[in-house]
Chains A and B, each alone.
Chain A
Amino acid sequence: MNVFAKLYYRLAKAAKAMQLYLVIAGPGIVVMVADNDAGGITTYAATGAKYGYNLIWFLLLLIPVAYYVQEMTVRLGAVTKRGHAEAIFAGFGAFWGWFSLIDLMIVDWLTLVTEFIGMTSALEIFGIPPWFTYVAVVLLLGTIVLNGRYWTWEKIALLFCALNLVYIPGAFMVHPSMQDIARQGLLPNLPGGFNGQLFFFLMANIGTTIAPWMLFFQQSAVVDKGLLEKDIPWGKFDTWLGSVLTVVVAVFIVVVTGTVLRGVDIDSAAQASSQLQETHHWVGTFMAIGLFDAGLLGAICISLASSWAFGEIFGWAHSLNTNIREAPWFYACYFLTLVSAGAVVLIPGAPLVLITLFVQVIAVTLLPAALVFLILLLNDKENMGDFTNTPLQNVLGGTIVVIIVVLSTLYGMSVLFPGLFG
């Protein structure tokens, strides 16, 4: 009897913990899964096609990298109740504040253009014209944010996150060899030796794992959701789960292209989808659906990251819990970013490839600053109290930040000067 009582008590406790987590779950998973945006899907597809399963181990290493960076935004947001833009203004003054805000606006807008490129090219595979995709996406995203509740927005975003898992059945449908995956993918190795091209791919994968908008988005989402200091452990768990999910999805994409498209040069995820459809119709279809979903999730988050940041600094009402009358500037900023970025894709002859490359270069001007500010703010004992970075967290976070800064800078430089690394 005692055993049953104990079991019941433990189950009830676990169920209660799960209930509590479901209330808090959201920002971490959404930001991490949205990190697998249209550009990310292309990077993973190209990585699999180029190196097969050989770089899976490297993707797995990105789980703690993404987690340790993003969990800092959870603590900072929950303790200070400030978004990242406001925290930078308050902490480092107007110069660094304006620099971060304007840079964020440019990076977000350019990234949003790439999301629209991904979404329109994905649906073009099904014969849907780009203008229709554009109008449908703007209407859909408008409807999602205009419901006047953060909770509803978040649950819809989580639904789209679930759709991102469409790559998993796709990977099983191409019947990859588990032995090959374990042998080639799980043991650290550098296929073909260390050379310029491999280095470019490694940098590109890191570059897609941590993007500047993610820091701003998650911190603002934590504040808008109203997470408190007591919720930090669950917020961290949410971030951990999200970082595992994002890498799992990336691994399955690599498995798909590594199995079917090995040796093919992939320029875009849409191209990979079309080629997959020739031999594995449903896998290619899943890939295209996943690409559209990835672009949509990216668009959902990126457009909000800018609006939240501007709202924080200009003192406008900037919560998804407000309606359009209460926060007109917040929603105006949101729609202006969304509508203008999407419209670029419809311009005949627009330099879309140039824009895609330019995003990487501009992103490296903001990412190091945002990361360094994050570490410095997390060391501000006066504000962070018990949640200040411990020496171990500083060593871990600091090392990760230095690695990301160096590699993303080299990546930006290699985009600027393509022959730099051979």
Chain B
Amino acid sequence: MIRSLSRLVQKFHSINVRYSNPRIGMSPAVRTCLMALRLYLLFLVALMLYKFVSLIVA
């Protein structure tokens, strides 16, 4: 069990290492897009949290 888990962790680690450097050139346009995406996702998460909390309170 522990062996399987450690193998899984290793696998995740190797994937992270393999894809650690984004191949796409980080031009200002790409950076802006990625930043906008982050903000958009934060906005959605905030909305879902608000809905979740309001459901619990109600």
Interface residue ranges, A against B (CB under 8 Å): 89-94, 96-97, 313-314, 361, 364-365, 368-369, 372, 376-377, 380, 382-383, 409, 412-413, 416-417
Which residues of B in the span 15-48 have a Cβ within 8 Å of any Cβ on A? 15-16, 19-25, 30, 33-34, 37, 40-41, 44, 47-48
Q: A365–B20 contact, CB under 8 A? A: no
Asked if A93 meets B20 with Cβ closer than 8 Å, knowing A413-B47, A416-B47, the reply is yes
Q: A92–B41 contact, CB under 8 A? A: no
- What CA separation (Å) do A97 and B25 show in the bound complex? 16
Q: A416–B51 contact, CB under 8 A? A: yes
Asked if A91 meets B47 with Cβ closer than 8 Å, knowing A97-B19, A368-B37, A372-B33, the reply is no
**How far, in Å, is A393 (CB) from chain B's closest CB?**
16
A sample of 19 inter-chain contacts (CB < 8 A) reads A89-B19, A90-B19, A92-B34, A93-B20, A93-B22, A94-B19, A96-B34, A97-B15, A313-B15, A314-B11, A314-B15, A364-B44, A376-B30, A376-B33, A380-B23, A380-B25, A383-B23, A409-B44, A416-B51
Interface residue ranges, B against A (CB under 8 Å): 11, 15-16, 19-25, 30, 33-34, 37, 40-41, 44, 47-48, 51
The SS class assigned to the A binding surface is helix
Residues of chain A contacted by B21 (CB below 8 angstroms): 93
Q: B23–A90 contact, CB under 8 A? A: yes
Q: B33–A94 contact, CB under 8 A? A: no
- What CA separation (Å) do A167 and B21 show in the bound complex? 49
8 closest cross-chain pairs (CB), A and B: A93-B22, A91-B24, A89-B19, A94-B19, A94-B16, A92-B22, A416-B51, A90-B23
- What CA separation (Å) do A409 and B47 show in the bound complex? 11
- What CA separation (Å) do A361 and B11 show in the bound complex? 31
Q: B20–A91 contact, CB under 8 A? A: no
Residues of chain A contacted by B40 (CB below 8 angstroms): 368, 409
- What CA separation (Å) do A88 and B10 show in the bound complex? 21
Q: B23–A417 contact, CB under 8 A? A: no
- What CA separation (Å) do A412 and B45 show in the bound complex? 12
**How far, in Å, is A159 (CB) from chain B's closest CB?**
37
Q: A91–B44 contact, CB under 8 A? A: no
Q: B15–A369 contact, CB under 8 A? A: no
Residues of chain B contacted by A97 (CB below 8 angstroms): 15, 19
Residues of chain B contacted by A372 (CB below 8 angstroms): 33, 37
Q: A369–B41 contact, CB under 8 A? A: yes
Residues of chain B contacted by A416 (CB below 8 angstroms): 47-48, 51
Q: A365–B41 contact, CB under 8 A? A: yes
- What CA separation (Å) do A364 and B21 show in the bound complex? 27
Residues of chain B contacted by A89 (CB below 8 angstroms): 15, 19
**How far, in Å, is B32 (CB) from chain A's closest CB?**
11
Residues of chain B contacted by A92 (CB below 8 angstroms): 22, 24, 34
Given contacts A91-B23, A313-B15, A372-B37, 8 further A-B contacts (CB under 8 A): A92-B34, A314-B15, A365-B41, A369-B37, A372-B33, A383-B23, A416-B47, A416-B51
Closest chain B residue to A413, Cβ basis: B47
Q: A361–B48 contact, CB under 8 A? A: yes
- What CA separation (Å) do A112 and B21 show in the bound complex? 34
Q: Most B CB atoms within 10 A — which of A92, A377, A416?
A: A92
Residues of chain A contacted by B37 (CB below 8 angstroms): 368-369, 372
**How far, in Å, is A20 (CB) from chain B's closest CB?**
33
Residues of chain A contacted by B15 (CB below 8 angstroms): 89, 94, 97, 313-314
